[in-house]
């Protein structure tokens, strides 16, 4: 088997239009000559997510693709994909929240890898984080390393999955966006709210609370 060498000039960013992946997009733009953003349409509750992704990619002048993953909705109906299932206000104590789509990151990264290889790109950037681990097993570092090895074997290719947010919390994710000159775009243009409200969001859902607490901690830690 003859493996390729790593292409350090280009990257594919797995891009949802949320805070984390937008920060990763800004991170990638500083490091690579060519950056391609890939979003997934899986029948998510809020089409606004894809609208935000499109707007941000346009503003940052990044090539943007949407891959159809409607299969995911068929396989794993839950509160993020089905409008009739309400998002839980509090995550269950000893279980993963009902906003989890089993295997979502694995599937996204795998499809992103197939896409990247077609473009001769080896580096794939994802905004997963083990620090704010909220019960999503495929956000863990051990999983990412395992998948990286699997993808290399599956496609006989030297992928490099980069995870700039793996060991930092939400406050430091805001700090990173600020350092990259993208604080306002992340604050105003991204969508993380489970109720589909851009920017600061509804303020009440678990995702908005996490985002706001991180932002307040960021201001406290770095802006005083
Ligand atoms: Zn919200």
78 or 221: which carries more pLDDT confidence?
221
Task: Say what the pLDDT of residue 74 is.
Answer: 77
Check residues 90 and 183 and name the one with the higher pLDDT.
183
User: Which of 206, 220, 210 minimizes the C-alpha distance to 92?
Assistant: 206
Centroid of ligand 1 to alpha carbon of 160 (angstroms): 33
> What distance in angstroms lies between residue 6's CA and the mean position of ligand 1's atoms?
39
Distance 196 CA to ligand 1 centre (A): 7
- Ligand 1 center–CA 25 separation, angstroms: 22
CA of 79 to the centre of ligand 1 (A): 13
Position 85 scores a pLDDT of 53
> How many angstroms separate the alpha carbon of residue 190 from the centre of ligand 1?
12
Distance (Å) from CA 214 to ligand 1 centroid: 14
pTM above 0.85, yes or no: yes
């Amino acid at each position: 088997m003859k493996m390729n060498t790593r292409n350090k000039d280009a990257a594919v960013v797995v891009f949802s239009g949320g805070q984390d992946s937008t920060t990763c997009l800004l991170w990638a733009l500083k490091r690579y000559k060519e950056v391609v953003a890939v979003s997934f349409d899986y029948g998510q509750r809020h089409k606004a997510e894809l609208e935000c992704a499109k707007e941000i990619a346009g503003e940052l002048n990044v090539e943007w693709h949407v891959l159809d993953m409607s299969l995911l909705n068929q396989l794993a109906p839950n509160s993020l994909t089905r409008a009739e299932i309400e998002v839980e206000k509090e995550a269950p104590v000893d279980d993963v929240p009902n906003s989890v789509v089993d295997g979502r990151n694995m599937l996204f990264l795998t499809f992103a890898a197939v896409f990247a290889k077609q473009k001769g790109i080896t580096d794939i950037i994802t905004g997963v984080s083990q620090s704010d681990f909220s019960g999503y097993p495929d956000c863990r570092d051990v999983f990412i390393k395992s998948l990286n090895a699997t993808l290399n074997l599956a496609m006989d290719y030297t992928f490099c999955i980069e995870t700039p947010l793996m060991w930092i919390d939400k406050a430091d994710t805001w700090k990173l966006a600020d350092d990259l000159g993208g604080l306002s775009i992340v604050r105003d243009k991204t969508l993380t709210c489970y109720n589909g409200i851009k920017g600061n969001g509804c303020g009440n859902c678990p995702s908005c609370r996490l985002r706001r607490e991180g932002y307040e901690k960021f201001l406290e830690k770095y802006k005083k």
